[in-house]
Amino acid sequence: MEVKTKIPLLLEQSIKGRTGYTIAELDVPEVPLQELIPPAYLRVEEPRLPEVSELEVVRYFTGLSRRNHGVDVGFYPLGSCTMKYNPRVHEDMAALAGFSQIHPYQPASTVDGALEMMYELDTYLAEISGLAKSTLQPAAGAHGELAGLLIIKAFHKQNGEDQQRTEMIIPDAAHGTNPASAMMAGFSVRTVVSNKRGGVDLAALKSLLGPKTAGLMLTNPNTLGLFDENIIEIADLVHAAGGLLYYDGANANAILGIVRPGDMGFDIVHFNLHKTFSTPHGGGGPGAGPIVVKQELAPFLPYPIIEKGSNGYALVKPVHSIGRMKSFYGNFGVLVRAYAYIRTHGYPGLRAVSENAVLNANYLMHHLKEYFALPYDRLCMHEFVLSGKWQKKVGVSTLDMAKRMLDYGIHAPTIYFPLIVEEAIMVEPTETESKEVLDHFIFLMQRIAQEAIDSAESFKNAPSMTPVGRLDETRAARERVLRFSTQENS
Ligand SMILES: *Cc1c(COP(=O)(O)O)cnc(C)c1O
């Protein structure tokens, strides 16, 4: 016997004949496999699968889950990702049989309730955004961006201007998905620089606008967590040049019930239901990135959309639809969670979400700016960006500090983004954390800043208290090993 230090693979625990299930006796005549499947397709060797008990399976997967950080484990201030707590009641709603046991091939007439839920979610998102009509199909924020950009393209095409309007203007602070989606939709990207206050530089914008302008992609508050007060002027300038305005609403946590993208002059917006509206996320989905458009653009929406008629709800194809963005109706379970979230909060609750998210971010920013450089020292919205440049001078990088935080049991903030801030540390506390948690975070951050001065070398081995040490981050992201494997992963 040896002392086990790591979780053994399930296959290593396999004992011939051990099972974790019981199946009822067969009560119909047994048909030999060879009669059902041509022998040429039947496998000759038995698959190498672990034969284990239910308890072994439970321990194995529980063990794996405990090696990871999640919002159910501790604070997760990952900026631009809105890792808020997701109330369990929404999971219960998504699991209701009327939602979870229906099939996308069922006739629409048998799922009126599901259609009603989607229709109402559509109207709520329209109300929250100040726009007219949505599609719930896109499966992620970036997918919504692509849908919105294809609509912009179709709009210009209808006006006979698609050959000419080829440029999408995007700020240098934008999320990386914005330029990627624009390229994917066939636009060329023009970058507009930010001004000293962290907003769009108006002179630079004016110099980019012209007959080639297809549109501007913006998020407000932007990825620096700052609200651009020039937004009305920006919208007027873009519209005057013949372009459309796309709002990246992935992080709507600062605006709910307070300000609406439609009122700011935007024509299209996407929401990340998995960020703002309560679906657990990370690790790649499932998510939902519905887009909402102004009335004039509704004829271009992907199909099907849901309309309310005299005989109930109907699935409709808009006249100039850009086509389908996804099979069936999108990630339906995520839609149910968002619907439940909006219904449980109501208008006052949603407004309180944003007020508290903004309050929490400003509270942290105020207490941390003594210890970390703050490039844009002004009221922030739901998140803010510090710089680790003071610590970098004494040999401790933002990456080093992020790794140290893991030893203290908190997830690191987003780092090195947005790109325009040197050694960026982007913090988003969300509204679901208590003052005690925020105070503890301030305490730890102060301690890390002090450690950087006192013992810079101690950072090099961080993290040392986590299940794995410092990883090759590129390889960990690019060569992920997510499948059950019969081989030891190196
Ligand atoms: C997360 C995010 C996106 C992309 O959303 P996905 O669902 O990951 O595709 C786009 N823009 C901003 C500002 C974001 O934070």
Would you state the structure tokens that stand for residue 196, as one six-digit string? 């000293």
> Ligand 1 mean position to 250 CA, how many Å?
5
Is the beta carbon of 278 within 6 A of some atom in ligand 1? no
> Ligand 1 mean position to 71 CA, how many Å?
18
234/219 Cα distance (integer angstroms)? 12
Is the beta carbon of 276 within 6 A of some atom in ligand 1? no
Confidence (pLDDT) at 490: 39
Is the beta carbon of 142 within 6 A of some atom in ligand 1? yes
Nearest ligand 1 atom, CA 140: 7
Is the beta carbon of 181 within 6 A of some atom in ligand 1? no
Q: Is the pTM of this model over 0.85?
A: yes
Is the beta carbon of 84 within 6 A of some atom in ligand 1? no
- Say whether domain 88-345 belongs to CATH 3.30.930.10: no
* Cβ atoms within 10 Å, residue 429: 28
Nearest ligand 1 atom, CA 177: 10
Is the beta carbon of 140 within 6 A of some atom in ligand 1? yes
Is the beta carbon of 175 within 6 A of some atom in ligand 1? yes
Q: How many residues does the chain have?
A: 490
Nearest ligand 1 atom, CA 80: 15
Residues of the chain with CATH 3.40.640.10: 88-345
Is the beta carbon of 224 within 6 A of some atom in ligand 1? no
Map residue 269 onto helix, strand or coil: strand
Is the beta carbon of 273 within 6 A of some atom in ligand 1? no
The residues, any chain, with a CB within 8 Å of residue 224's CB and separated by 6 or more, are 173, 194, 198, 376, 384, 385, 418, 421
> Ligand 1 mean position to 141 CA, how many Å?
5
Confidence (pLDDT) at 22: 87
**pLDDT in 10s for each residue of the chain, 490 residues:** 777 667 778 888 899 999 988 889 999 999 998 899 998 999 999 888 899 999 999 999 998 888 888 998 999 999 999 999 999 999 999 999 999 999 999 998 899 999 999 999 999 999 999 999 999 999 999 999 999 999 999 999 999 999 999 999 999 999 999 999 999 999 999 999 999 999 999 999 999 999 999 999 999 999 999 999 999 999 999 999 999 999 999 999 999 999 999 999 999 999 999 999 989 887 777 999 999 999 999 999 999 999 998 888 989 999 999 999 999 999 999 999 999 999 999 999 999 999 999 999 999 999 999 999 999 999 999 999 999 999 999 999 999 999 999 999 999 999 999 999 999 999 999 999 999 999 999 999 999 999 999 999 989 989 999 988 998 888 988 888 777 665 544 3
Closest residue CA from atom 15 of ligand 1: 80
Is the beta carbon of 330 within 6 A of some atom in ligand 1? no
Nearest ligand 1 atom, CA 143: 9
Task: Please answer whether residues 71 and 431 qualify as being in contact, where contact means their C-beta atoms are separated by less than 8 angstroms.
Answer: no
Closest residue CA from atom 14 of ligand 1: 250
> Ligand 1 mean position to 142 CA, how many Å?
6
Q: Can you spell out the DSSP letters for 125-163? A: HHHHHT-SEEE---SSHHHHHHHHHHHHHHHHHHTT-TT
Is the beta carbon of 288 within 6 A of some atom in ligand 1? no
Would you state the structure tokens that stand for residue 180, as one six-digit string? 């990627």
Cis? peptide before 299, omega within 30° of 0: no
Is the beta carbon of 289 within 6 A of some atom in ligand 1? yes
> Ligand 1 mean position to 249 CA, how many Å?
8
> Ligand 1 mean position to 410 CA, how many Å?
22
Is the beta carbon of 251 within 6 A of some atom in ligand 1? yes
H or E element that contains 293: strand 291-293
Q: How far is CA 430 from CA 177, 355, 386, 427, in A?
A: 22, 10, 17, 9
The residues, any chain, with a CB within 8 Å of residue 212's CB and separated by 6 or more, are 164, 165, 166, 167
Is the beta carbon of 148 within 6 A of some atom in ligand 1? no
Nearest ligand 1 atom, CA 274: 7
Task: Please answer whether residues 78 and 69 qualify as being in contact, where contact means their C-beta atoms are separated by less than 8 angstroms.
Answer: no
Closest residue CA from atom 8 of ligand 1: 141
Nearest ligand 1 atom, CA 145: 10
Residues of the chain with CATH 3.90.1150.10: 353-478
From 247, 251, 274, 291, mutation site for ligand 1 pocket: most ligand atoms within 8 A of C-beta: 251
Q: How far is CA 464 from CA 63, 132, 173, 388, 460, in A?
A: 19, 52, 33, 21, 10
What would the CATH number be for the domain defined by 353-478? 3.90.1150.10
